[in-house]
Amino acid sequence: MSADPGFAVRGGVLHAEGVSLATIAQVVGTPTYVYSAAALRAAARRFRDALAPVPRKALAFAVKANPSLAVLNLLREEGYGADIVSGGEMTAVLNAGMAARDIAFSGVGKTPEELAQALRVGVGHINLESEREGEVLAAIAVRMGRAAPALLRVNPDVDAGTHAKITTGTSDTKFGVAIGDAPAIYDWLAARPGLSLQGVAVHIGSQIMAPDPLEAAYRRIGELVAALRARGQGISHVDLGGGLGVDYRGGADADVAAYGAMVARVTRDWDVTLLFEPGRYIAAHAGVLLTRVLWVKPGEECSFVVIDAGMNDLARPALYDAWHDFAAVAPNGATMRAHVVGPVCESSDGFARARMIDRVGEGDLAVIRDVGAYGASMASCYNSRALAAEVMVEGGRFALITPRIAAADIRPQTLPEWWQGAALGRAA
């Protein structure tokens, strides 16, 4: 696990900062996401400090990683804006007190209603994913009497070298316009009334550990900026996206200092404001999923440790075969080889396969580590399970920031009016 100051064993019990996770389980129950304010702040400052050599910049947290009001408010205090991909995320960010001008609206499927919402609140810029989206945004802006600040997202055809399902910069992904088509599309959009086209955006994927693919993408973007200026276009902003990865197995994360130095070197002559959209790098190590062991069931290969957290709470292992460390809240030094699985009625509902873990028994508390990014934000109510609670810890105090929500409260349901009488009769 990362060396962030969030989680450590003290007196034989795992703590989030100064609070025992056993205490949180007693008060809030399980499964519960637990976040460390200190770990969030440490990562946010580390990223910001690494970009000190870049003279003109703005930082925007990728809200899809963790849209918690408390997390967003903390990052606002650390000088971050927001990278959003939906109208719902826009509302969350504004509720957290972030200024609309500090919002970058990304996403390949924005609706006309969301584009109008963005213009009404005054977002900093909208990243256009296609020529047609720019055309629609221009028409909306003209009707509203606005000039829509926008960047054109460009696909540089660079493979990030990461999991296929989190790669976004190759030629066959749905994101952005092909770099070869970008100059003509940019010229056409820049001439549209209602659009204030300010530059370009790029994002090639997530969980990138080596700087080489990012540098290759940025160099292509630099060549594009020069070509656009040669065509008479004014370029004031370039959005470099996010994507820096973390090591989920306790090793070293992506070298953010080396990344900052690379960016400063590659973009030295661009004369633009650079925008950055970190998400996972800021939040991943700052959260654990607190869970309780329901059963330890004998198996042919090894035991099954059945916990009360499921794939509906944490989808990453089922979606990406992602690794997350599993640890006892009160480790005693003993270990066991086991499959760690959840209660959801799917074979993919597992968190570890034949792994050496802390020895746990029925009723013991445990954690799944490094889930502060793409944990609660991807949760569902599958199997009509409740959404897990969320807790923020700061120093020696903690607060419930999201209550446990029953599936029926999230998706209220009714019978068709013409069935209701018959249904009541059957029930009687």
C-alpha torsion sign, points 61, 76, 1, 259: positive
Question: HSE on the CB side for 47, CA within 13 Å?
Answer: 30
164 touches 172 (CB < 8 A): no
Contacts of 194 (CB under 8 A, 6+ apart): 137, 138, 139, 140, 141, 142, 146, 147, 148
Give me the long-range contacts of 405-414 (CB less than 8 A, separation at least 24): 407/381, 408/384, 410/381, 411/381
By the 10 Å C-beta count (0-12 exposed, 13-18 middle, 19+ buried), 289 is classed as buried
What is the C-alpha separation between 43 and 346, in angstroms, rounded?
35
What's the confidence (pLDDT) of residue 3? 46
What is the C-alpha separation between 141 and 137, in angstroms, rounded?
6
Q: Regarding beta strands 326-328 and 237-239, do their DSSP bridges make them parallel or antiparallel, or are they unpaired?
A: unpaired
Structure tokens at 255: 């070298």
Contacts of 397 (CB under 8 A, 6+ apart): 18, 19
- Please check if 279 is assigned to a binding site: yes
Give me the long-range contacts of 94-101 (CB less than 8 A, separation at least 24): 94/121, 95/69, 96/69, 96/72, 97/73, 98/72, 100/124
pLDDT digit string (tens) for the chain, length 428 residues: 444 569 999 999 999 999 999 999 999 999 999 999 999 999 999 999 999 999 999 999 999 999 999 999 999 999 999 999 999 999 999 999 999 999 999 999 999 999 999 999 999 999 999 999 999 999 999 999 999 999 999 998 775 454 444 444 445 667 789 999 999 999 999 999 999 999 999 998 888 998 888 999 999 999 999 999 999 999 999 999 999 999 999 999 999 999 999 999 999 999 999 999 999 999 999 999 999 999 999 999 999 999 999 999 999 999 999 999 999 999 999 999 999 999 999 999 999 999 999 999 999 999 999 999 999 999 999 999 999 999 999 999 999 999 999 999 998 988 898 886 665 555 55
Phi, psi (degrees; rounded to nearest 5) at 285: -75, -10
What's the confidence (pLDDT) of residue 229? 98
Q: How many degrees, rounded to 5, is the angle at CA 297 between CA 369 and CA 383?
A: 65
What's the confidence (pLDDT) of residue 55? 95
- Please check if 248 is assigned to a binding site: no
What's the 3-state SS for 280-322? HHHHHHHEEEEEEEEEEECCCCCEEEEECCCCCCCCHHHHHCC
- Please check if 243 is assigned to a binding site: yes
SS3 call for 151:
strand
Q: Could you give the residue numbers annotated as active site?
A: 345
What is the C-alpha separation between 58 and 48, in angstroms, rounded?
10
Size of the chain, expressed as the number of residues it contains: 428
43 touches 282 (CB < 8 A): yes
**Domains of the chain with bracketed CATH:** 37-283 (3.20.20.10)
Q: What is the pTM of this model?
A: 0.93
- Please check if 316 is assigned to a binding site: yes
Structure tokens at 207: 């969980």
Structure tokens at 79: 């000088």
SS3 call for 11:
coil
CA distances for 294 relative to 38, 289, 331, 334, angstroms: 31, 15, 17, 19
CA distances for 186 relative to 216, 224, 226, angstroms: 21, 11, 13
- Please check if 346 is assigned to a binding site: yes
79 touches 321 (CB < 8 A): no
Element (H, E) at 40: helix 37-50
Distance, CA of 217 to chain centre? 21
